[in-house]
Structure 1
């Protein structure tokens, strides 16, 4: 199982389907809409707190 992190969405462009998460105590992380686990339309809002894992890709 991958290590889990907590961070805050810095920005997310729903039209383009990507953005960045500021990882607490670490570097910013790129996020693509296909990685969002959610029902319905997959998007994030700026300043939203999220839990995530990091994968090489």
Structure 2
């Protein structure tokens, strides 16, 4: 099931950041490799996104992130 959220912060130089979920369940880790699209994959603070939440090695994380 896809969820929606807002990018809280994302560091292009480090390749990761966090997305605040719209349903109030908290912040989700996002790695650049989870961002859908071609070319340089990055997000900007405040971007609205849709995503899937999966269980990763260190807890919940975003997958298949798409800018809305």
Q: Normalised by the shorter chain, which TM-score bucket?
A: over 0.9
Task: Tell me the C-alpha RMSD between the 2 structures.
Answer: 0.6
Structure 1 regions of 5+ residues with no counterpart? Answer: none
State the shift of 1:38 in Å: 1.2
Q: Tell me the secondary structure at the aligned position of residue 46 of structure 2.
A: coil
Q: Deviations over 1:13-52 (max 9, x none)?
A: 0000000000002211000001111111000000000000
TM-score relative to the length of structure 1: 0.92
For 1:22 and 1:13, the matched residues in 2 are separated by 15
Q: Which has the higher strand share?
A: 2
After TM superposition, the runs of 4+ consecutive aligned structure 1 residues lying more than 6 A away are none
* Count of residues paired in the alignment: 55
TM-score computed with the length of structure 2 as normaliser: 0.78
Decide which of 9, 12, 24 is 1:11's aligned counterpart. Answer: 9
